[in-house]
């Protein structure tokens, strides 16, 4: 089995986080991995416990604890065991771990190593391609959390395909609240309202993780065809792989 700690400031962080990790190491190897993710704080919290967002300093403290226990687990169990989701590194302003440090991306669906995997796959895909002078103009919508990395990856694509214009639009999450910054919780209404007056080019790229599983519907019941009609442009869905990211832009 694989576990997850949803961290809430002043509830189960600090010494309590250390105790939780320590206690769960007793289940190794039956428990293969443990992820630590920050609680998502939406704008709809009437009647709920008052939770505070994690600051940059908080994120660094959380990473220090996780890295400490990774070293302990590698020494005693030959595995890092506990992993931080991408948000911690981004919000702390730290470099993402290497691919090797994720040990097979066991918790990638929980946002653990998702950005590192995408970066490495995009670089590998571009290494295998011969650049050319093709012309294309596309736009890409993303959550604010990944904005910096998506812009950097688009820059790598343009190094090989200099005549491909890529506009990256970070979408503010007004539906759930601006503290929600991941692309997987973007809604059709926010995408339409924030892109309706933008130059979108030949087509708009949207990440696959904002769709309901097996459907072309977003969390607010807006469909892909409704987005296309509202924005008067074609939409392409980018799967969570480097191959799809590059090919959807240039092909």
Concatenated DSSP letters of 133-192:
---EEEEEEEETTTHHHHHHHHHHHHHH-TTEEEEEEEEP-TTT-TT---GGG--HHHHH
Residue 177's pLDDT is what? 94
The answer to whether the CB of 237 falls within 8 A of the CB of 208 is yes
Single out the residue of 134, 153, 158 nearest to residue 142, CA to CA: 153
Task: Quote the tokens at residue 18.
Answer: 């250390």
Q: Rounded to whole angstroms, how far apart are CA atoms 91 and 182?
A: 12
User: 41 in helix, strand or coil?
Assistant: coil
C-alpha torsion angle, residues 85, 86, 91, 96 (rounded to 10): 120
Q: Rounded to whole angstroms, how far apart are CA atoms 214 and 206?
A: 15
| 191-217 tens-digit pLDDT | 999 999 999 999 999 999 999 888 999
Displacement of CA 207 from its chain's centroid (Å): 10
Which of the 8 DSSP states describes residue 213? T
Phi/psi of residue 20, nearest 5 degrees: -65, -45
Q: Which residues of the chain have pLDDT under 70?
A: none
Residue 240's pLDDT is what? 85
Q: Rounded to whole angstroms, how far apart are CA atoms 184 and 241?
A: 15
Residue 31's pLDDT is what? 97
Question: Residue 183: CB partners within 8 Å, gap ≥ 6?
Answer: 141, 142, 143, 145, 146, 171, 207, 209, 210
Burial class (CB in 10 A: 0-12, 13-18, 19+), 107: buried
Q: Rounded to whole angstroms, how far apart are CA atoms 115 and 96?
A: 8
Q: Rounded to whole angstroms, how far apart are CA atoms 4 and 13?
A: 13
């Amino acid at each position: 089995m694989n576990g997850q700690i949803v961290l809430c400031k002043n509830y189960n962080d600090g010494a309590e986080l250390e105790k939780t990790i320590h206690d769960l190491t007793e289940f190794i190897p039956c428990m293969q991995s443990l992820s630590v993710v920050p609680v998502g704080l939406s704008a709809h919290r009437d009647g709920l416990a008052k939770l505070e967002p994690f600051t940059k300093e908080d994120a660094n403290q959380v990473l220090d604890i996780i890295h400490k226990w990774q070293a302990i687990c590698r020494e005693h169990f030959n595995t890092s065991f506990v992993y931080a989701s991408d948000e911690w590194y981004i919000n702390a302003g730290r470099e993402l771990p290497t691919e090797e440090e994720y040990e097979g991306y066991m918790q990638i669906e929980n946002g653990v190593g998702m950005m590192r995997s995408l970066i490495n796959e995009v670089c590998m895909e571009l290494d295998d391609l011969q650049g050319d002078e093709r012309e294309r103009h596309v736009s890409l919508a993303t959550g604010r959390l990944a904005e910096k990395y998506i812009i950097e990856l688009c820059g790598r694509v343009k190094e090989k395909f200099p005549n491909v214009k890529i506009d990256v639009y970070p979408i503010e999450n007004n539906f759930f609240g601006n503290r929600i910054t991941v692309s997987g919780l973007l809604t059709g209404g926010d995408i339409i309202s924030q892109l309706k007056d933008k130059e979108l080019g030949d087509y708009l790229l949207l990440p696959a993780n904002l769709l309901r599983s097996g459907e072309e519907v977003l969390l607010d019941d807006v469909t892909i065809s409704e987005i296309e009609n509202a924005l008067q442009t074609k939409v392409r869905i980018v799967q969570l792989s480097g191959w799809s990211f590059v090919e959807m832009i240039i092909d």
